[in-house]
Structure 1
Amino acid sequence: MKWEEANSGRADDRLKIDELLVTLSGLEAEINLLKRRIALLEEEIARLRKENARLQAELQRVRVQLDQETLLRIDNQNRVKTLLEEIDFMKRGFDSELKDLQAMAARDTTNENREFFKNELANAIRDIRAEYEQMMNGNKSELESWYQLRVQEINTQSNRQNAENNYQKEEVKRLRNQTSELRGKLSDLEARNVLLEKQIEDLNYQLEDDQRSYEAALNDKDAQIRKLREECQALMVELQMLLDTKQTLDGELKVYRKMLDGESDNNGLRQLVEQVVRTSAINEVADTETMRVVKGEHSSRTSYQRSAKGHVAIKETSPEGKFVILENTHRAKEEPLGDWKLKRKIDGKREIVFTFPSDYVLHPFQSVKIFARGNGIANPPDVLVFEGDDTFGVGANVQTILYNNKGEERATHIQRQSQQTTTS
């Protein structure tokens, strides 16, 4: 029942591990996808940064151009000022000439001359003023149109640059938010991945524990089966002994019957005894004496009991105390027995202790036979010799116990012998 439960639990654990592995594969694929998306976003951010740097350089160039245009404007303003000063200078010169002409006209007392010079002066002043106003208006219109054009271009470039900068800022902000969100998801997935790996590790440990429990249960069942087989063998031996005893007794009973009944021609013991009894009854009146033939048979029964708390068990002990055999029941695991002790207690009185070498290792599915001194030849690692005594001891109650190097009991073998008397 425990073996079936262990198999069922092991199958459930394997299914759960497979499901967790599928989930882990999906999470790893999602993590790789998020990492690729983050890489693409980082490339997009790098491209936007380069574009931003280019636009910043363009803005810097426009600003330099604006500074140059501002300097050019200041230069033009200075030129206008210089021209205005020249015009003012020319005006003052013309005014001086006009005054001279007026003075000359004043000195000329002729009305005709006076009127002539006056008309000429008015015409000159009108021409100069018209030329001056035309030149001023042309320069003013040209400067105003040029400045308006340059300011419009600068405003257009500035607005476009501001719009691009705002778009880039919004895009960078969006990408940063998306990157932060993806990093948060990546952190959650990594944490979940770690949790799933921890669960898989725990399940692997649990599976190993279940396997060890299953192997221990299997070893216990093997030990129980071997014990039952040994008990059955002992019962078979005892039954055979009883059958042999029964056959012997049947043969003796046949012989006694023949002796009592006698042959066909001769009188047997029964007739002789009856004759003697009748004769005795005639001659003497006394108590009769009954004779009984009692046959007694002594037999002994030996029982064994074994147990183990691991893969190392006591397989066999010699009834004559010549050797002890240990075996490693595991199919793949070595068992280090360095400094382990094998103790034999004889009838609760005598105690014999054998200590394994410090570097001794019992290989998987192998056994070691330990002889008492003088009963065998050492051949490590399969055969060892106990040099401390000539025998492991013989008695009616023999306990063989295996202790590890920490003093913990790992295996036992108990041999009990009981005496029986059969009377017929």
Structure 2
Amino acid sequence: MITEVGSLTNSRNTISPYGQNAALTIRDSREREKKEMSDLNDRLANYIEKVRFLEAQNRKLAADLDMLGSKWGKDTFNIKQMYEAELHEAGKVVGETDIQREKVEDEIRKFFNELAAMRKKHEEAISGRNDDRNEIDSLLRTLGHLEGDIGALKRRIQNLEEGVSSIKKENRALIDELQRARTDLDQETLHRIDYQNQVQTIAEEIEFIKRVHDQEIKELQMLAARDTTPENREYFKNELASAIRDIRTEYDQITDVHRNDMESWYRLKVQEIQTQSARQYMEKGYAKEEVKRLRSQLADLRGKLADLESRNSLLEKQTQELNFQLEDDQRSYEAALNDREAQIRKTREECHALMVELQMLLDTKQTLDAEIAIYRKMLEGEENRAGLRQLVEQVVRSHGISQQNDIETMRIVKGETASRSAFQRSAKGNVSIQVI
């Protein structure tokens, strides 16, 4: 084939394009067929090798079966005794497990009762906590109302203090006005004394003028007495009497006018001073009464403010104590709840482990019961050899599967030590298989 390809290669120049394509196609198909033949040869060699291996394994298994068949009749009684002993032990274990299960169920019921009690206590604690919160909210609302009342009382006290200060200012103004009125009264008293002095001076002047006039009259009378003529005496006497009357009349008029003016002015001033003094006295009395009333009201408000502040501090202290108590109760409740949950979780884990172990024991018991039943049938000779072989193989497979499940379960529940013990247990006993 290589020679043909070489010749085809050497004669490319003389072959047409169609011939070249056909040659390439033939070459590719031959190479593909060669590769397929090589693969088929390899597969055939593998199959032959597998057949030889299986024949050797069959020969080995036949030898093992012959050996087991030779030992089958000897170990049957031993296997029966061993499985009866294991069955008896398994019965004891099942009884003990039932007792432990009852105890565990009692403990579980007790734990459930305790859990119900704890839940009830939890609900009561939550209810008490809600009641405490409601009480705290009501206390806070009361505290807010009291603070509002305190603020209103403080504003009212401030207004009253402002009123007291304004009344004090008015009182000082009234005192100043009273002082000015007293000063005016003193001035008017001085003016009255001055006027009285002036009146006395005028009266003395009038008296002096009167004496002067009397002296002049006497002199005129003496002059008139010297006159011897009766007509002259009468004339001068009449003139003198007329002048004296005129002077007296004028003097009386002037005196009356001055007296009336002084009396009216004095009465007017005295009345004004008395009226102003009475008004100032009444206003001062009113101011004193108002100041006294405001002072008593201010004292009452200060007493109420002190009571409200003490009550406010007491309520704040009670609120703080309730908050502390609530936090302590919450912490203790959470700690107790965590402990109880940990105990319940631990109990559930123990219960689960016991249930798993119980299930393992029950499975082992069922397996042992099945094996004992099979071996009883084998011992009684109720089955033929072919059926006995099938039963033995089934027992071996089921026993191996159950022991493997036991190993896995014990590894999950109790760890590697329990799995090793289960593996050692699975190795107990001798199984003989006889080939027909």
Contact kept in structure 1, 2:160 and 2:294, CA below 8 Å: yes
Cα separation, partners in 2 of 1:260 and 1:93, compared to 1, 3 Å: same
Code of the residue aligned with 2:126 in structure 1: it is N
Give the equivalent residue in structure 2 for 1:154.
273
What's the secondary structure of 2:342's corresponding residue? helix
Give the equivalent residue in structure 2 for 1:96.
215
Cα separation, 1, equivalents of 2:357 and 2:266: 131
User: If the length of structure 2 is used for normalisation, what is the TM-score?
Assistant: 0.57
Show CA shifts across 1:76-112 (max 9, x none): 1111111111112212212222222233233334333
Match among 235, 239, 244 for residue 120 of structure 1: 239
Cα separation, 2, equivalents of 1:137 and 1:8: 105
Match among 291, 294, 301 for residue 172 of structure 1: 291
Give the equivalent residue in structure 2 for 1:48.
167
Code of the residue aligned with 1:159 in structure 2: it is A
User: If the length of structure 1 is used for normalisation, what is the TM-score?
Assistant: 0.58
Cα separation, 1, equivalents of 2:191 and 2:213: 32
Code of the residue aligned with 2:163 in structure 1: it is E
Contact kept in structure 2, 1:98 and 1:121, CA below 8 Å: yes
Instruction: Find the structure with the greater CA-based Rg.
Output: 2
Cα separation, 1, equivalents of 2:167 and 2:254: 51
Code of the residue aligned with 2:176 in structure 1: it is A
Deviation at 1:241, TM superposition (A): 4.8
Match among 212, 227, 241 for residue 108 of structure 1: 227
Deviation at 1:163, TM superposition (A): 1.6
Is 2:125 aligned against 1:23?
A: no
Code of the residue aligned with 2:269 in structure 1: it is R
Structure with more of its chain in helix, by fraction:
2
Deviation at 1:12, TM superposition (A): 0.8
Deviation at 1:194, TM superposition (A): 1.8
Match among 261, 264, 276 for residue 142 of structure 1: 261
Code of the residue aligned with 1:194 in structure 2: it is S
Cα separation, 2, equivalents of 1:223 and 1:265: 59
Cα separation, 2, equivalents of 1:143 and 1:99: 34
Q: CA RMSD in A?
A: 2.6
Match among 310, 313, 316 for residue 194 of structure 1: 313
Cα separation, 2, equivalents of 1:248 and 1:264: 20
Matched length: 269
1:202-281 equivalences in 2 (<5 Å): 202-243=321-362, 245-246=364-365, 249-250=368-369, 253=372, 257=376, 260-261=379-380, 264=383
Is 2:189 aligned against 1:75?
A: no
Contact kept in structure 2, 1:3 and 1:217, CA below 8 Å: no
Code of the residue aligned with 2:343 in structure 1: it is Q
Code of the residue aligned with 1:8 in structure 2: it is S
Give the equivalent residue in structure 2 for 1:352.
none
Deviation at 1:2, TM superposition (A): 1.4
Code of the residue aligned with 1:184 in structure 2: it is G
Cα separation, 2, equivalents of 1:259 and 1:142: 169
Code of the residue aligned with 2:160 in structure 1: it is L
Give ranges in structure 2 of 5+ residues lacking alignment: 1-119, 386-413, 417-436
Deviation at 1:251, TM superposition (A): 6.7
Contact kept in structure 2, 1:105 and 1:113, CA below 8 Å: yes
Deviation at 1:252, TM superposition (A): 6.0
Cα separation, partners in 2 of 1:158 and 1:265, compared to 1, 3 Å: closer
Cα separation, partners in 2 of 1:240 and 1:139, compared to 1, 3 Å: same
Cα separation, 2, equivalents of 1:35 and 1:114: 101
Deviation at 1:237, TM superposition (A): 4.6
Show CA shifts across 1:270-307 (max 9, x none): xxxxxxxxxxxxxxxxxxxxxxxxxxxxxxxxxxxxxx
Cα separation, 2, equivalents of 1:158 and 1:319: 116
Cα separation, 1, equivalents of 2:198 and 2:318: 86
Give ranges in structure 1 of 5+ residues lacking alignment: 267-317, 321-424
Cα separation, 2, equivalents of 1:124 and 1:164: 59
Deviation at 1:240, TM superposition (A): 4.8
Deviation at 1:238, TM superposition (A): 3.0
